[in-house]
Amino acid sequence: MDSAWLVPAALAFGVLVGAGVAVILVISAGRGRTAHEVVNSSVPDGVDQVIEALESAGVVIDPSNNVVKASPGALSYGLVWNGALVHPELVQLVDQVRRNGEPVTEELHLARGPFGEASIYLSVRVARLGARYVLLLAEDRTESYRLDEVRRDFIANISHELKTPIGAVGLLAEALVSASKEPEQVKRFAKRLTKESERLARITQEIIELSRLQATDTLTKTDRVDIDYVVASAIDQNRVAAEANKVVIVSGGDAGAEVFGDETLLTTAVDNLISNAIQYSPNGSRVGVGVSRRDGVVEIAVTDQGVGIPEDEIDRVFERFFRTDPARARNTGGSGLGLSIVKHVVQNHGGDIRVWSQPGNGSTFTIRLPEASHAAAASLGAS
Ligand code: ADP
């Protein structure tokens, strides 16, 4: 063979071998990637993003019960700690689903986090995710459980509230019949009969008012309402109670404020605040009602020097049927509905209500409402 061909032939052979090796490497690298994807493809595409976007709790668990992905909600509910599920109840559900393959849904009452004292009500759904993983989704039901509890308490309370005066009316009627020949006794029983029937009427009225307010979120009647008149009427409606409790009501502040709304409802709201201020104050104390107008906001503040509200219960006083001290509230004829009526009225008027209170030092409830002149000016400006 001619040696002149040897060098190019060797070169061509070298290039061929190199190209072959390169092709084999590329193919095998591709195969490797495919194999990796096959392993991971059991966590369906996009699960990461879905878990990330969840507001509630979402957790992906691997075959060794390690948490491979958890939503921020799962962390804030305290379900995950150190890369694992905190609650044995949840681990049990996960194991069960892994064994049976069937999804399960359960309502659970769990401790919040690994060492906290608080608890949380969860609606939990567990299902398989691909071949290897298990998905756990949980919704916080604590609020609705708490409302149910308040509602159950209310039914117990309201039955008691109604049973007591109804029973008393029956007994007093019997007493009236047997004392018919003694005018003094008849007078005494009749007076008590009137008081009990007034109490019954008040509780019934409050329940009706609250249902009416909750049925509509916006006002049907919106006139210009004179706040001075509202405050004066509400104070007037409490004169007798104030005198009976030797409480002095003082009022003051900015005059001439007006809001758009329903005069009767607003009077009821201020009336309820003043009535509470009197009920929960000692004899001889003062209740202040102040009106202020600032930057298009009308504030009506009712201040007392009474028993105050414990700090941990302050957020709950506007809940329907909630009473900080049921026994005392029962004596005062309270039903726990007054403040929730106030809150609804104020919200329906586009305002809000705030409370400051300190046990032993008294409370201030402040209603804030948009001022009519400001609202009118704003709409004129906009047109
Ligand atoms: P109630 O008819 O029992 O007064 P409310 O809804 O008006 O119901 O008030 C709820 C609870 O809030 C009351 O039972 C009372 O414990 C507390 N509360 C309301 N107003 C005052 C106040 N001015 N001072 C102290 N506690 C108050």
Given ligand 1 and candidates 313, 339, 344, which is best to mutate, with the most ligand atoms within 8 Å of its CB?
339
CB 185 within 8 Å of CB 364: no
Name the band, by pLDDT with cuts 50, 70 and 90, for residue 280: very high
Q: How far apart are CA 318 and CA 315, in angstroms?
A: 7
Q: Is 288 in the pocket of ligand 1 (CB under 6 A)?
A: no
Per-residue pLDDT at 142 = 87
How confident is the model over 306-337, as pLDDT tens digits?
999 999 899 889 987 777 765 555 555 666 78
Strands (E), 160-295: 223-226, 248-253, 258-261, 286-294
The Å distance, Cα 329 to ligand 1 centre, comes to 7
C-alpha radius of gyration, the chain, whole number: 35
CB 44 within 8 Å of CB 64: no
Q: Residue 173 — φ and ψ, nearest 5°?
A: -65, -45
Q: How far apart are CA 307 and CA 104, in angstroms?
A: 50
Tell me the two tokens of residue 220. Answer: 């049907």
Q: Is 337 in the pocket of ligand 1 (CB under 6 A)?
A: yes
Across the beta sheet with 57-61, the strand order is 67-70, 57-61, 133-140, 119-129, 104-111
- When comparing pLDDT for 131 and 251, which is higher? 251
- pTM of model > 0.75: no
Q: How far apart are CA 377 and CA 258, in angstroms?
A: 13
Q: What integer is the mean pLDDT of 41-68? A: 86
- Take atom 4 of ligand 1 and give the residue whose Cα is closest: 334
Q: Is 362 in the pocket of ligand 1 (CB under 6 A)?
A: no
How confident is the model over 102-160, as pLDDT tens digits?
999 999 999 887 766 678 899 999 999 988 999 999 999 988 887 887 777 667 767 76
- 115: which residues sit within 8 A by CB, 6+ positions away? none
Q: Is 338 in the pocket of ligand 1 (CB under 6 A)?
A: yes
Name the band, by pLDDT with cuts 50, 70 and 90, for residue 87: very high
**Beta-carbon neighbour count of residue 381 at 10 Å?**
7
Tell me the two tokens of residue 48. Answer: 């990461």
The Å distance, Cα 310 to ligand 1 centre, comes to 11
Q: What integer is the mean pLDDT of 146-175? A: 79
Q: Is 277 in the pocket of ligand 1 (CB under 6 A)?
A: yes
| 246 DSSP 8-state letter | T
Q: Which atom of ligand 1 is nearest to the CA of 335?
A: 2
- Take atom 2 of ligand 1 and give the residue whose Cα is closest: 334
Evaluate if residue 30 carries a pLDDT over 70: no
- 139: which residues sit within 8 A by CB, 6+ positions away? 56, 57, 122, 123
Per-residue pLDDT at 383 = 37
Q: Cα 379–350–369 angle (5° rounding)? A: 90
Q: Is 325 in the pocket of ligand 1 (CB under 6 A)?
A: yes
Per-residue pLDDT at 109 = 93
What does pLDDT average to over the chain?
83
Given ligand 1 and candidates 271, 313, 317, which is best to mutate, with the most ligand atoms within 8 Å of its CB?
317
Q: Is 306 in the pocket of ligand 1 (CB under 6 A)?
A: yes
Tell me the two tokens of residue 382. Answer: 């906009």
Name the band, by pLDDT with cuts 50, 70 and 90, for residue 39: very low
> What type of residue is 370?
P
Q: How far apart are CA 235 and CA 257, in angstroms?
A: 17
Q: How far apart are CA 202 and CA 211, in angstroms?
A: 14
Name the band, by pLDDT with cuts 50, 70 and 90, for residue 36: very low
- Take atom 11 of ligand 1 and give the residue whose Cα is closest: 323
Which residue's entry shows tokens 């309270």? 334
Q: Which atom of ligand 1 is nearest to the CA of 272?
A: 7
CB 87 within 8 Å of CB 120: no
Tell me the two tokens of residue 340. Answer: 């929730």
Q: Is 317 in the pocket of ligand 1 (CB under 6 A)?
A: yes
**Beta strand pairing status for 67-70 and 57-61?**
antiparallel
Which residue's entry shows tokens 């029973």? 167
Per-residue pLDDT at 288 = 98
Per-residue pLDDT at 376 = 59
Q: How far apart are CA 39 and CA 30, in angstroms?
A: 15
The Å distance, Cα 332 to ligand 1 centre, comes to 10
How confident is the model over 343-373, as pLDDT tens digits?
989 988 889 999 999 999 999 999 999 998 8
How confident is the model over 180-227, as pLDDT tens digits?
899 999 999 999 899 888 888 887 888 777 777 766 655 666 789 999
**Beta-carbon neighbour count of residue 225 at 10 Å?**
23
Evaluate if residue 2 carries a pLDDT over 60: no
CB 185 within 8 Å of CB 179: yes
- Take atom 19 of ligand 1 and give the residue whose Cα is closest: 276
Q: How far apart are CA 146 and CA 288, in angstroms?
A: 34
- 103: which residues sit within 8 A by CB, 6+ positions away? 97, 125, 126, 127, 128
Q: Is 324 in the pocket of ligand 1 (CB under 6 A)?
A: yes
- When comparing pLDDT for 51 and 15, which is higher? 51
